[in-house]
Amino acid sequence: MNLTKIGWIGLGKMGVPMAQNLLNANFDLSLYNRSKKALANFEDRKVTIFDTPKALLTACEVVIVMISDDQAVNEVFCGENGLLSAEAKGKIVINMSTVSAEISRKMAALLNENGNEYIDAPVSGSLKQATEGTLVIMAGGNAEVFDQLIPIFNCLGKLALRVGEIGAGNSAKLAINALLSFHALGLAEAIKFATEKGIEPSTLLELINNSALGNPFMKIKGDAILQDNYDAVFALKHIVKDLQLAKDAGINSPLANTALQAFTNAQSELGEEDIISIYKKLSL
């Protein structure tokens, strides 16, 4: 199989730099995006633009999907001129979106019926890691298919692991994002509590960053609170979606339930801001 001819669907905040990294690695890249505005990021690059997912899959050996949610996945696969309407066989679709394991299993089964393969491979990381090609990739699906895709994954991330069968990558991503929400909420509560006890946030953060609890996430999000900068790196609305997906998949723990309630309550006001903007909604 010619794995140098790749199609890309989804040119959002993460999709653009990820696709550009494939171009930088000299892959032959073709694009489809629902909004034509995002294609402007590739005006000076050698890419082929397709008008439908169907046409993209027909022309490429591998198609990567990086879109928002289960509904968007359903539209791209099952909609008019979607991926499943292509008559091509022997193709591989990599779904790197953060979606449910259930929809991955459904789309994998439908693709398999058409003679094609599916791998779920969501990523951990944000815009900085997407730009640098240092994402962490967790994949579910056939081991032999995964092995064929390693050269592609190596252009996008610093680590790519197959964690199980179809849907396992999605489940791993939801577990990681649940932990992310706990860290964000815990940091916000700690700073809020210390502030109410007369301790400067900067002082508490210096202590945290020099303790066993210190890590890049704590520093970056702590600095965001200090600077009152809540521009979205990972929008709060997305953690609500991911926590709800985890709940639907069976997570029912005190931390997960509390985090889902806290972020859901903040979503109407802060949904477009960064996850750490939850700090503004806390009252102890």
Catalytically active residues, by annotation = 173
Q: Which residues pair with 139 in a beta bridge?
A: 162
Q: How far is CA 32 from CA 77, 86, 121, 252, 280, in A?
A: 13, 14, 19, 38, 38
DSSP 8-state code for residue 175: H
Does residue 164 come out as left (phi exceeding 0), alpha (psi in the -120 to 50 range) or beta?
A: left
Q: How far is CA 195 from CA 152, 188, 199, 220, 249, in A?
A: 47, 11, 5, 19, 37
Tokens representing 130?
């997407």
Please give the Cα distance from 52 to 44 (Å, whole number). 22
Q: How far is CA 270 from CA 60, 125, 211, in A?
A: 40, 21, 30
Burial class (CB in 10 A: 0-12, 13-18, 19+), 130: buried
Pairing of strands 123-124, 135-140: antiparallel
Cβ(39)–Cβ(19) below 8 Å: no
DSSP 8-state code for residue 189: H
